[in-house]
Amino acid sequence: MSKRPKDPYAVEPRKLDSGRWKGRVVRYDPDTGKRREMTQTFDTKKDAKNWAEKEAAQYREDPQRTPLAKKR
């Protein structure tokens, strides 16, 4: 019987030296149980936090999904 992977969660955004913000989401691969981290940079802390929370919520709904495409 395989262990249920832990729920994904958003990590508080981190300010980079460039002045931009890094949003991070930690999730666990449902097949291997290994920890995976997704990151993306944004101009504002609010944007980084919103992205991370949205990604984490979508992974909770469907753990097999692929990450959202980056918007440029």
- Whether residue 2 is contained in a domain is answered as no
Domain-located, residue 72: no
pLDDT in tens, 40-57: 999 999 999 999 999 888
pTM for the model stands at: 0.73
Residue 25 lies in a domain: yes
The enclosing H or E element of 30 equals none
Q: Considering the domain boundaries, does residue 26 fall inside one?
A: yes
Give the Cα separation of 32 and 34 in Å (integer): 5
Give domain status of residue 1, yes or no.
Answer: no
What number of H helices and E strands is found in the chain? 1, 3
51 is a domain residue: yes
Residue range(s) defining the domain that contains residue 55: 9-61
Query: What does the buried/exposed string (b/e) look like for 48-58 if buried means 16 or more CB atoms within 10 Å of the residue's CB?
Result: bbebbeebbee
On whether residue 3 sits in a domain, the answer given is no
2, 27, 39 from 59: Cα distances, Å? 19, 8, 14
Total tally of structural domains belonging to the chain: 1
Model confidence over 7-32: pLDDT tens digits?
778 889 999 999 999 999 988 877 78
Question: What pLDDT is recorded for position 45?
Answer: 96
Within a domain: 69: no
